[in-house]
């Protein structure tokens, strides 16, 4: 008959306890050493954790600052006049949202954006980056073409064109992201990337894995007309120092990863204006080195604007001499009241000026992302992405219009961009296009 544990001598029970405790400690020690040296079962555990993260965690949900709801009330009827026209909204909920709304917020056109149905075979992507759950990604960069078709980026995954009924016109299997700019000829310019899993002789002291940002020009039919390496552009123009702003090991320059973070490409398209810029100049924004660079048609560097902003987005040509930029201004202690800014550089005079900055009375802060658009009537439309808000400012600083992206669960959602469309876009245009395809 087995002896009850309580009847065993104290010394025997202590020995058993010490034995199991020792096994426990050895198991922990082995686990730590195995994890560090990739011994069994470390690799299996890593794969299991990664698969669980892919199906259970939506990293984009962590981007939204839903702790602050703007205190600005809805704009009263009869207040400052907004620029007339419809507005394209790209946002994120449990599904991705692309919609055209009127001034009151009523939807006149929408697209159901689902990665899994729109891109069922993404053979151009590494398996680890293919979305595994809904919505799995987000929209970053979008334009509406003259006929009402939508062209947009699945962030870092590819570019698509959809008609107003949501049917795919074409897919571009290239890792586009952040922005799409439509130039005066109707061509599409976007940020892209090449992923390097091995070291490259073209970029000394870069250790794989690293990202090589690219500028691409795409036709309305989805054909790549131009592809330009940003890293080669910097080398060719004597700006290779921007490639090595981070990373030192044993007094030897070594770096890798996403060192530049290209987040915008735009061309100068204004006709009949003489000044600092010429038609066809190309401007890019490199977030991780706080730099805006402008190249001519031959890809020679004309101007650089570096330093007065922190982790900026969306530089825009204002006229033939001036550029504005969305300064995320991602600095300061977490407990401080932070604010983003819109800055303007006059390249003819070499002067920087502040157009708008958030304050306690009128909060404005998006630590990442963000867009701004200068409107024909002089107003400024700002997308405060991580606060889920867009608002339109008059030249005197009054709020003429605003839009909050509230998700189905009542929380603030990620608002990628609010973009005011030209007067040629009407509710009737989208209705006619949908009717033509049987909607």
Q: Which of 35-49, 217-231, 337-351, 403-417 has the lowest mean pLDDT?
A: 35-49
Residue 409: what pLDDT? 82
64-73, 89-98, 243-252 — most confident range: 89-98
Listed by start position, the domains of the chain span 9-57, 61-436
Q: Is pLDDT larger for residue 424 or for residue 29? A: 424
The per-residue DSSP string of 73-94 comes to PPPPTTSSPPPPS-EEEEEESS
Per-residue pLDDT for 55 more than 90? no
Per-residue pLDDT for 160 more than 90? yes
Q: What is the mean pLDDT of residues 242-270?
A: 83
Q: What is the mean pLDDT of residues 355-366?
A: 91
Question: What is the C-alpha separation between 438 and 19, in angstroms, rounded?
Answer: 75
Residue 187: what pLDDT? 98
Per-residue pLDDT for 67 more than 50? no
**Mean predicted lDDT score pLDDT of the chain:** 86
Per-residue pLDDT for 143 more than 50? yes
Q: What is the mean pLDDT of residues 221-234?
A: 98
Residue 95: what pLDDT? 83
| Contact assessment for residue 246 and residue 253, using Cβ atoms and an 8 Å cutoff | no
Per-residue pLDDT for 362 more than 80? yes
Q: Which residues pair with 165 in a beta bridge?
A: none
- 308-347 in b/e burial notation, b at 16+ Cβ within 10 A? ebbbbbbbbbeebbbbbbbbbbbeeeeeeebbbbbbbbeb
pLDDT tens per residue, range 292-302 = 999 999 999 99
Question: What is the C-alpha separation between 35 and 376, in angstroms, rounded?
Answer: 59
| Contact assessment for residue 212 and residue 199, using Cβ atoms and an 8 Å cutoff | no
Per-residue pLDDT for 206 more than 80? yes
Residue 430: what pLDDT? 97
CATH number for 61-436 (one of 3.40.640.10, 3.20.20.10, 3.40.50.720, 2.120.10.30): it is 2.120.10.30
Residue 83: what pLDDT? 95
Q: Which of 197-206, 212-221, 330-339, 425-434 has the lowest mean pLDDT?
A: 330-339
Residue 78: what pLDDT? 44
Q: What is the mean pLDDT of residues 128-139?
A: 88
Residue 343: what pLDDT? 98
Residue 80: what pLDDT? 75
Residue 183: what pLDDT? 97
Which pair of tokens denotes residue 131? 């979305």
Residue 273: what pLDDT? 73
Residue 164: what pLDDT? 96
Question: What is the C-alpha separation between 308 and 252, in angstroms, rounded?
Answer: 29
What residue ranges in 358-434 does DSSP mark as E strands? 371-374, 380-384, 389-393, 399-404, 415-420
Per-residue pLDDT for 328 more than 50? yes
Measured over the CA atoms of residue 53, residue 54, residue 56 and residue 57, the dihedral's sign is positive
Closest CA to 286 of 302, 307, 304, 264: 264
Per-residue pLDDT for 37 more than 70? no
What number of other Cβ atoms are within 10 A of residue 32's Cβ?
A: 11
């Amino acid at each position: 008959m087995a002896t009850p544990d309580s009847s065993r001598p104290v010394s025997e029970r202590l020995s058993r306890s010490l034995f199991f405790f020792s096994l426990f400690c050895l198991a922990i020690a082995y686990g730590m050493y195995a994890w560090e040296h990739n011994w069994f079962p470390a690799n299996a555990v890593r794969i299991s954790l990664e698969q669980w993260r892919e199906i259970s965690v939506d990293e984009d949900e962590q981007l939204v600052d839903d702790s602050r709801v703007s205190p600005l009330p809805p704009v009263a009827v009869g207040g400052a006049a907004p620029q007339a026209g419809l507005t394209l909204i790209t946002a994120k909920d449990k599904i991705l949202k692309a919609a055209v709304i009127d001034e009151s917020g009523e939807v006149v056109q929408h697209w159901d954006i689902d990665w899994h149905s729109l891109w069922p075979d993404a053979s151009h992507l590494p398996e680890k980056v293919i979305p595994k759950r809904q919505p799995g990604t987000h929209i970053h960069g979008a334009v509406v073409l003259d006929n009402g078709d939508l062209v947009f980026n699945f962030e870092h995954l590819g570019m698509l064109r959809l008609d107003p009924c949501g049917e795919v016109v074409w897919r571009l299997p290239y890792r586009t992201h952040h922005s799409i700019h439509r130039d005066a000829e109707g061509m599409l310019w976007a940020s892209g990337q090449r992923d390097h899993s091995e070291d490259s002789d073209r970029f000394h002291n870069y250790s794989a894995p690293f990202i090589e940002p690219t500028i691409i020009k795409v036709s309305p039919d989805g054909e790549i007309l131009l592809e330009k390496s940003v890293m080669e552009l910097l080398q060719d123009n004597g700006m290779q120092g921007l490639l090595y702003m981070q990373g030192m090991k044993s007094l030897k320059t070594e770096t890798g990863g996403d060192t530049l973070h290209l987040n915008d490409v735009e061309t100068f398209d204004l006709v009949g204006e003489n000044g600092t810029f010429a038609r066809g100049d190309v401007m890019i924004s490199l977030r991780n080195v706080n730099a805006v660079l402008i190249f001519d048609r031959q890809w020679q560097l004309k101007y650089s604007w570096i330093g007065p902003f922190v982790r900026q987005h969306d530089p825009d040509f204002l006229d033939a001499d001036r550029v504005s930029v969305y300064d995320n201004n991602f600095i300061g202690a977490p407990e401080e009241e932070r604010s983003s800014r819109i800055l303007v550089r006059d390249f003819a005079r070499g002067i920087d000026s502040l157009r708008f900055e958030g304050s306690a009375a009128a909060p404005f802060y998006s630590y990442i992302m963000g867009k701004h658009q200068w409107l024909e009537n002089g107003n400024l439309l700002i997308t405060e992405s991580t606060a889920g808000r867009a608002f339109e400012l008059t030249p005197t600083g009054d709020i003429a219009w605003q839009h909050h992206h509230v998700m189905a669960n009542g929380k603030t959602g990620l608002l990628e961009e609010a973009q005011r469309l030209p007067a040629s876009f009407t509710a009737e245009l989208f209705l006619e296009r949908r009717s033509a395809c049987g909607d």
